[in-house]
Structure 1
Amino acid sequence: MTESFSIDRPSFDPQNGEARFSYRLNDLSFTEVLGLPSGADAAKAESPAFRKLLDLTAFVLGVSYFKLRAPFEIAAPDIKLTEAEKAFVIDVYENGLGEFYARNDLARFGRLKLTTALDSETQKPTLSLPERTLLPIGGGKDSLVSVELLSHVGVDFTPFAVNPKGPILTSVDAIGRAPLYVTRTLDAEMIRLGKEPGYYNGHVPSTAINSMIASLCALLFGYDQIVLSNERSASEGNIEFDGRETNHQYSKSLGFELLIADVLSNATGGALKYFSLLRPYSEARIASLFTRGGRFDSVFSSCNRNFRLNGNDGPLWCGECPKCHFVFLIFAPFMARDRLLKIFGKNLLDEPANEHSFRELSGLTGQKPWECVGEILEAAACFYTLTRHADWHQDAVVRGVKADLFAQYGEEQLQRAMAECLTDSHDHHIPPALAAKVAAHAV
């Protein structure tokens, strides 16, 4: 039997803010529910632009159900898509699921078939949105640097999150602005089947998912731009698989940003903008910007291990995962030792058991971890800085990697790499006027 995945046209009730998305995988049926804030303007909810974004959101949310079996055919006969929108959907299901395919050894690149009705309308919807910013908050350092930058240049923004928990909630409390939250309820049967034999499980492009949900809120509640906090190193992949680079952070990459920005703009007649404020920066540069203020030290976390689907009431940092190690590493050159140890609760660079993880991050062994971490050469450059830093050069991990670091890269390359980390890129999608203001403040 040929397996297939089907997507029904979604529904939205503006009275209670409930959006429902239905899917079929062979003989299985699933329904996902989004709970948006109530009180949306019914006229906006019935607009062609919102209807288009709701349809596109159905495709992007569908990756969670599709991946149970990852069939080659995707069908949505009741949804109209333009050729550009079809290309966007295929990109989400191919590159957005690239890590999932690689880790499950599934060859899907260039092989997926998408069947939809054809949207041949050339007239763009007329839409007007207030000059306001919706800012997704992830609870980590990146979005909080965006908070500080937007605040300093006088841009009005609203914090946004889907299923907020842990450091997202504490960060938003510290920001002090009323947030816009959405609840996302995945089908319980999908979650159960993902743990059963005969079904696949793995990484999905969460940034793409949350971005589409944010686009619905932007139209319903009046925001003309969605501002992400993705750095330039998110564009670096992990491994080659099935003839293509696969990237854990694909939906944070510049390539995807340009693609989804174009789709959202076309769907709204140019009214809705989408870009990353931190795209010019390396992770190290973002870390240096974060150290300028201390109001988020006790509330933020970039640790994924302690904040999974069901949340966690434990410490903000596990201190054991690659993400914790990477964040500690890039903060160390710029942050006072006592302050960094207070944030993490211990010195991750002075525990020999962590050395293998740090070696992976800096390209001395294995592959780049399947995590939202920066570029390999960036990590190596930060290590190089620490070998010459009075606060860190005697720590066990720094001493343990020093010889191999110098042998593999050489001091000259590491010096150039660190300088490059601290040099802002011009390869970004930020509106010019805003880019100039932010660049002037971030000097």
Structure 2
Amino acid sequence: MTETVFTVERPRFDPRTGAALFGYRLGELSFTEKLEFPVPELGAEKAASGAFAHLLDLTAAVLGVSYFKLLAPLDIDLTALSLAEGDAAFLTDVYENGLGEFYARNALERFGRLRFRLSSPRTPTSSLTLLERTLVLIGGGKDSLVSVDLLERAGKAITLFAVNPKGPILSTAQRSGHEMIGVTRTLDPEMIRLSKEEGYYNGHVPSTAINSMIAALAASLYGFDTIILSNERSASEGNIAFDGRETNHQHSKSLDFERLIGGTLARASGGGLGYFSLLRPYSEARIGQLFARTSRYDDVFSSCNANFRLGGNKGPLWCGKCPKCHFVFLVLAPWMTYDRLTAIFGQDVLDNPENIPAYRELTGLSGHKPWECVGEILEAAACLWRLTGNADWRNCTVVATLRPELEAFYGQSKLETAFEELMTDSPDHLIPASFQTAVASHAA
């Protein structure tokens, strides 16, 4: 029996229409994905460069995870792409660690077993000529809005970027007053259909890696030399151990991945393109403190994944029932009054007894860290403990119920020390000195 091979075909880009087409084959199945870049201000001459072609090939390989995972074969054919030395390590990380949650939840062992077929390495290309301009990825949640606020306070000119902008992404971008570049991504509908059929796998893909590669194409086409993300330090903490490694829902938001993709983009662009997370020194609790300094986005931001899918907004800004709602409410509570935070969410998430099991999981009292973009276990525990001394929150059902459990499990001293550490900025980041110096005083 012939083993299934996943094949990435050579991508195509038409600067006249701004359309990029990506073809994939999974055994006898064929798929096509499309990206549409706004044509105005698109640099056709940059699209003809060797550096852009390299970035396009890398993007084709990364976008391919959405199609690969239908059957998750061991053989991946990249011979149609022209890749450079070092690209294989980056792509192996995307397909192994970036899909770690998918493998764990489908009980698939793939670490160290994938076989990549590569063509001869491409020769180095000349540097992309890019302007000193900054592209900031925005997701409609508190993290990217803190980055926007810090950059504004530092006097940095920025342009926002999003893939398939909808709902809170559009409303927060409009509220910010900054221009935004939006790229339309159209997945092959047959892939979506098959992912729901018996005999095919489905699950989490590294969306930050995907969006970052699309942002790199946009930066090169429109002339931006810096891409800024808003990934915090807690994104580096994993969820569970599986197949001999730590599995992290947020792997493509981690510092390790940031270092890997940053180096890959720099090489592909001839050193012209910079990539880093502005919030890497900060904990989620610290970001909550920074976000609470302004009420500018209170009525338009959201981090709730339950109500925001491919189709856009399916309900209110916050459901109050998902891990993201639970965690964001928790890290904002130490810095916001009861009236302000409950007005944002339309409810008191901490006073609902149905949420007690979820908060036990978030704080490490049971189960494991949820498969979601939430902070560290001890971070959640320390924030909840902090609320036991807050008059606005200490009598809420979740806080009052879990207080004795937290004390017994962690001890008061450990929780108090942990909260102090959360408010101490980490030196472990990749922020260039020019940005770090400009922003540091405004985060104090």
TM-score normalised per structure 2? 0.99
Contact 2:128 2:220 in 1 (8 A): no
Post-superposition Cα deviations, 1:92-140, rounded to whole Å, max 9, x if no partner, equal 000000000000000000000011212152x441322111111111000
Letter aligned with residue 420 of structure 1: E
Confirm whether residue 402 of structure 1 aligns to residue 415 of structure 2.
no
Q: Percent identity?
A: 62
The whole-number CA distance in structure 1 between the counterparts of 2:217 and 2:313 is 28
Partner residue of 1:90 out of 82, 89, 92: 92
The whole-number CA distance in structure 1 between the counterparts of 2:179 and 2:134 is 13
Alignment correspondent of 1:320: 321
Confirm whether residue 373 of structure 1 aligns to residue 379 of structure 2.
no
The whole-number CA distance in structure 2 between the counterparts of 1:199 and 1:335 is 45
The whole-number CA distance in structure 2 between the counterparts of 1:143 and 1:380 is 24
Structure 1 segment 221-370 matched on structure 2, within 5 A: 221-370=222-371
Partner residue of 2:80 out of 74, 78, 81: 78
The whole-number CA distance in structure 1 between the counterparts of 2:96 and 2:422 is 30
Confirm whether residue 185 of structure 1 aligns to residue 186 of structure 2.
yes
Post-superposition Cα deviations, 1:50-108, rounded to whole Å, max 9, x if no partner, equal 00000000000000000000000000222122231011011100000000000000000
Alignment correspondent of 1:101: 103
The whole-number CA distance in structure 1 between the counterparts of 2:396 and 2:416 is 21
Contact 1:34 1:184 in 2 (8 A): yes
Shift of 1:22: 0.1
Shift of 1:419: 0.3
> How many residues are matched?
442
The whole-number CA distance in structure 1 between the counterparts of 2:179 and 2:389 is 44
The whole-number CA distance in structure 1 between the counterparts of 2:377 and 2:408 is 15
Post-superposition Cα deviations, 1:227-280, rounded to whole Å, max 9, x if no partner, equal 000000000000000000000000000000000000000011111000000000
Structure 1 segment 17-96 matched on structure 2, within 5 A: 17-39=18-40, 40-96=42-98
Post-superposition Cα deviations, 1:271-309, rounded to whole Å, max 9, x if no partner, equal 100000000000000000000011100000000000011
Contact 1:224 1:273 in 2 (8 A): yes
Shift of 1:207: 0.3
3-state SS of paired residue (1:269): coil
Shift of 1:437: 2.0
The whole-number CA distance in structure 2 between the counterparts of 1:126 and 1:67 is 34
Letter aligned with residue 58 of structure 2: L
Partner residue of 2:121 out of 119, 122, 145: 119
Segments of 5+ residues of structure 1 without an aligned counterpart are none
Confirm whether residue 161 of structure 1 aligns to residue 162 of structure 2.
yes
3-state SS of paired residue (2:350): helix
Alignment correspondent of 1:145: 146
Contact 2:46 2:128 in 1 (8 A): no
Alignment correspondent of 1:4: 5
Alignment correspondent of 1:212: 213
Post-superposition Cα deviations, 1:328-377, rounded to whole Å, max 9, x if no partner, equal 00111111111001000111111101000011000000110000000000
Letter aligned with residue 140 of structure 1: G
Letter aligned with residue 133 of structure 2: R
Segments of 5+ residues of structure 2 without an aligned counterpart are none
Between 279-288 and 312-321, report the one with greater CA deviation. Answer: 312-321
The whole-number CA distance in structure 1 between the counterparts of 2:314 and 2:168 is 10
The whole-number CA distance in structure 2 between the counterparts of 1:127 and 1:243 is 40
CA-based RMSD of the aligned residues comes to: 0.8
Contact 1:19 1:35 in 2 (8 A): yes
Shift of 1:184: 0.3
Contact 1:125 1:267 in 2 (8 A): no
Contact 1:261 1:274 in 2 (8 A): yes
The whole-number CA distance in structure 2 between the counterparts of 1:201 and 1:141 is 29
The whole-number CA distance in structure 2 between the counterparts of 1:314 and 1:102 is 30
Contact 2:136 2:227 in 1 (8 A): yes
Letter aligned with residue 86 of structure 2: A
Contact 1:166 1:313 in 2 (8 A): no
TM-score normalised per structure 1? 0.99
The whole-number CA distance in structure 1 between the counterparts of 2:5 and 2:128 is 36
Letter aligned with residue 367 of structure 2: G
3-state SS of paired residue (2:309): coil
Contact 1:74 1:115 in 2 (8 A): yes
CA change 1:253–1:131 in 2 (3 A) is same
**Runs in 1 of length 4+ with deviation above 6 angstroms?**
none
Between 175-184 and 18-27, report the one with greater CA deviation. Answer: 175-184
